[in-house]
Structure 1
Amino acid sequence: MKKKDIRKNELYIFPVSLQPQILKGGINYFMLIIDSKDCENIDKALKKYKKKFEKSKTLLQLRERQHFTKSSVKSRTQRLKAIYRQQIASGKIEL
């Protein structure tokens, strides 16, 4: 990264456990940018980091990549979930 890219009041955190994402333009590394104020506590910055990390769903992607599931199995589970949701909405199944 160039010095011009890094702003003074931002924390750049690179999660080590994640592999680089390969996109059309080349390899892009996953990076979370957290805006922090000068007087802000590090605990607040960590809390913001945890929220952003959960919203990015990178941990879910990591767990999905641990084992391979065929596309036919994925589509079958999606269909079964959709049927289940429709049955709940129509009132055939009560929770």
Structure 2
Amino acid sequence: MIVINVKDNESIDRALKRFKKKFERTKVLREIRNRAYFEKPSIAKRNAKMKAAYKQKLYAEQNF
């Protein structure tokens, strides 16, 4: 459970921003999206390899 202590003279907007940032770091939303549908392990591995190759290609182009 995420706990945000609102400090004295702190606006609600600032506290909400800190809450959103903490929530994003926990990666809960990403996990929920991944569990929304089943993906076979072989497909997941293939997608991971394709993503890695794409990132490597971009990195190579930047440092060329």
* Fold in common (TM above 0.5): yes
**Equivalent residue number for residue 3 of structure 1:** none
Whichever of the two has the greater Rg, that structure is 1
Specify which of 47, 54, 61 is matched with residue 84 of structure 1.
54
1:90 CA drift (Å): 3.1
**Equivalent residue number for residue 51 of structure 1:** 21
Normalising to structure 1: TM-score of the pair? 0.54
CA distance in 2, matches of 1:82, 1:39: 46
Shifted more, 68-77 versus 78-87: the winner is 78-87
1:61 CA drift (Å): 1.0
Aligned: 1:38 with 2:11:
no
Stretches of structure 1 that go unaligned for 5 or more consecutive residues are: 1-30
CA distance in 2, matches of 1:32, 1:83: 36
Normalising to structure 2: TM-score of the pair? 0.74
Aligned 1:63-82 pairs, distance under 5 A: 63-82=33-52
Please state which structure has a larger fraction of its residues in strand: 1
Give the aligned length: 61
Residue identity matched to 1:56: T
**Equivalent residue number for residue 32 of structure 2:** 62
Please state which structure has a larger fraction of its residues in helix: 2
